[in-house]
Amino acid sequence: MIKKLLIANRGEISVRIIRACRDLGIKTVAIYSEADRRALPVLMADEAVLIGPPPAAESYLCIDKIVDAALQTGADAVHPGYGFLAENAEFAAACLGAGLNFVGPPARAIGSMGDKIAARQMMEDSGVPVIPGSREPITDVAEIIPLAKKAGFPILLKAVAGGGGKGMRVVHCADEIQTALEGASSEAKSAFGDGRVFWEKYLEHPRHIEIQILADKHGNIIHLNERECSIQRRHQKVIEESPSPIMTADLRRQMGEAAIAAARACGYINAGTVEFLVDTERKFYFLEMNTRLQVEHPVTELVTGLDLVKAQLLVAAGEELPYQQDQITPHGHAIEFRIYAEDPKNNFLPSPGTLSVYREPHGPGIRLDAGTYEGAEVPIYYDPLIAELAVWGETREEAINRAIRALEEYKIAGVATTIKFHCWALKHPLFRSGDISTHFVDEHFESITGCLDIDENALRPLALAAAIYEYRRAKKKTAAPPTGRRNLNWKVNGRRLSLRSISGPGGRS
Ligand code: MV4
């Protein structure tokens, strides 16, 4: 079994992984940048290693520094979390090369899914449905015109190295192809250093439904049902749920089998997700595979009762999956909300700053994965995710009502948040009826400014209490330690946490 794990990430996902390690008796090493000296994972991990200045390119993206930190602290494994280096085949290979167990798929599987046209070909050859389109990158526009006409306009041009919607262009007729191709290609070239583009028939109002899979090193692969992720904004998911409102037992079986075939085709091991687009006739098509643990994994954990991070660690250690497909028996309905420090009143502009008030919701059916605490900073350097709020109910309706209750209980001041945006979505008749597509936010979010007005009166007593507390503390201790230390006063492993003992590389011991 893994004895000591380095977590190559920050924020809530690092906290999530530390929790699984504590449950399993695995020691933890956090890494942190200068912007994250007082971050929650640094306080919670057994050891913490400073790896560089705030910009991710000089810290959380530095393969050499991270591998060094693991070797220096005697870690035997590395968990990449999501984002940063999580889908970097070079990082997975570097860990293995240094004798570290990488808690994720083989570098080969990461690489084969990063090339979207190679992935498409591999899926087509394995009998996984793909959207009608090209098997090769576009070289000659004249060649594809008859093929696109046959598939039917509109078509969508996509970057081979794509992701996040960069290098995509919808094309409505043959005359538009050349210009769109030039635009997509130059955008892809500057974003990914690879200007190759391919095409697919454009699905107009698809749902985004993904299947969670788990694969061990002994050839066992199971799926853990779907998550519906259609509620997104600019290719960022904002609400995810399971089961999907449109799922049937038959469709689930077919999509589950396709996801397992996809994983088998690329030699996948560990936790992964196969994304599908589902059209209005409930036909499903492979979109891409995410070769990592995802932000929305708690949704699956709530309905299946499994611990996906624990499963990842056991699989990485070489154990067989402890369950078979027929032992996966989901129960109830889960919905997750990404709580961002972004301003929905101002086009979701990031809103970094200090969480002067931070009160979490609790109670039946509520799970909160937060990477922060009252008084902590949301730095400007990274994705401004504060927390994931996941709710569970016997039914979708109960989950929605609990979600509204939890979001109203959640009090944050000091930064703008997406909490009120979620309340708007939950109260929208189309969301309530489950009639959603990937265009839901774009098509319906204009008209709600009234709903977004934050109830300043409700927050005033909390802000006042926090201010009085800070004032008294400052008066008592003139040479006070940095904010966020004294008031935590946490003990972990029987030890009071002290930031003073966290120094540069090598960490505390
Ligand atoms: C599509 C599509 C419609 N038709 N492909 C967006 C990101 C990239 N990973 C693939 N994406 C899409 N591919 C075809 N053939 C629509 C999207 C799409 C989308 C997909 C999933 C979730 C949100 C989305 C938002 C806009 C477009």
- Report the CATH number that the domain containing residue 493 is assigned in CATH: 3.40.50.20
What's the CA-to-centroid distance between 163 and ligand 1, angstroms?
Answer: 9
**Catalytic site includes residue 292:** yes
pTM: 0.90
Average pLDDT over residues 239-250: 98
Give yes or no: residues 51 and 148 share one domain. Answer: no
268 in the same domain as 313: yes
- Which of 146, 178, 201 finishes a domain? 201
Asked whether the predicted pLDDT for residue 502 surpasses 50, the reply is no
Q: Say if residue 438 is in the same domain as residue 308.
A: yes
Ligand 1 atom having least distance to the Cα of 201: 15
Q: Which atom of ligand 1 is nearest to the CA of 203?
A: 4
pLDDT of residue 475: 82
Distance 253 CA to ligand 1 centre (A): 23
Residues of the chain above pLDDT 70, percent: 91
Q: What's the pLDDT band for 459 if we cut at 50, 70, 90?
A: low
500 band by pLDDT with thresholds 50, 70 and 90: very low
Q: What is the pLDDT of residue 468?
A: 85
Co-location of 236 and 252 in the same domain? yes
Ligand 1, residue 155: give the atom nearest the CA. Answer: 15
Mutation choice for ligand 1 from 287, 440, 443, CB with most ligand atoms inside 8 A:
287
Distance 164 CA to ligand 1 centre (A): 9
Is residue 66 domain-shared with residue 141, that is, in the same domain? Answer: no
Say yes or no to pLDDT of 485 above 80.
Answer: no
Q: How far apart are alpha carbons 202 and 152 in whole angstroms?
A: 9
| Residue 85 to residue 268: CA distance in whole angstroms | 18
Ligand 1, pocket-test mutation among 203, 277, 289, 441, most atoms within 8 A of CB: 277
Q: How far is it, in rounded angstroms, from Cα 241 to Cα 229?
A: 7
Residues in the chain: 509
What average pLDDT does range 160-186 have in this prediction?
93
Residues 307 and 445 both lie in one domain: yes
Higher pLDDT, 450 or 244: 244
Helices and strands in the chain, H and E counts: 17, 24
Report the number of distinct structural domains present in the chain. 3
Ligand 1 center–CA 313 separation, angstroms: 32
Among candidate residues 10, 207, 292, 402, the one labeled active-site is 292
Domain boundaries, position 352: 207-452
Read off the pLDDT of residues 46-98 as tens digits, 9 standing for 90 and up.
Answer: 999 999 999 999 999 999 999 999 999 999 999 999 999 999 999 999 999 99
Task: Tell me: pLDDT of 369 over 60.
Answer: yes
pLDDT exceeds 90 at position 375: yes
17 is a domain residue: yes
Q: Is residue 124 part of a domain?
A: no
The DSSP result for 374-396, as a single string, is TT-EE-SSS--EEEEEEEEESSH
Question: In this structure, which residue's CA is closest to atom 14 in ligand 1?
Answer: 202
Last residue of a domain, one of 201, 221, 238: 201
pLDDT one-digit tens code per residue, 296-352: 999 999 999 999 999 999 999 999 999 999 999 999 999 999 999 999 999 999 999
- My answer on whether 151 and 226 are in the same domain is no
Q: Whose CA is nearest to atom 12 of ligand 1?
A: 165
pLDDT band at 484 (very low <50, low <70, confident <90, very high): very low
Distance CA 233, CA 238 (A): 7
Confidence class of residue 506 from pLDDT cuts 50, 70 and 90? very low
Three-state secondary structure string covering 455-502: CHHHHHHHHHHHHHHHHHHHHHCCCCCCCCCCCCCCEECCEECCHHHC
Mutate to test the pocket of ligand 1, among 113, 157, 168 (most ligand atoms within 8 A of CB): 168
CATH number at residue 352: 3.30.470.20
Question: Do 71 and 98 contact (CB within 8 A), yes or no?
Answer: yes
What is the Å distance from ligand 1's center to 210 Cα? 13
Given this model, what pLDDT does residue 340 score? 98
> Ligand 1 center to residue 501 CA distance, Å?
48
Q: Of 144, 167, 201, which closes a domain?
A: 201
| pLDDT tens readout for residues 383-424 | 999 999 999 999 999 999 999 999 999 999 999 999 999 999
Is 219 in the same domain as 284? yes
CB within 6 Å of ligand 1 — which residues? Answer: 131, 156, 163, 165, 200-203, 206, 208, 232, 235, 277, 287-288, 438
Residue 216 pLDDT > 90: yes
Please check whether residues 184 and 224 belong to one and the same domain: no
Atom of ligand 1 nearest to the CA of 133: 15
Nearest CA to ligand 1 atom 18: 438
The answer on 235 and 214 residing in a single domain is yes
Give the residue among 252, 271, 286 at the shortest CA–CA distance from 126: 286
pLDDT at 494: 52
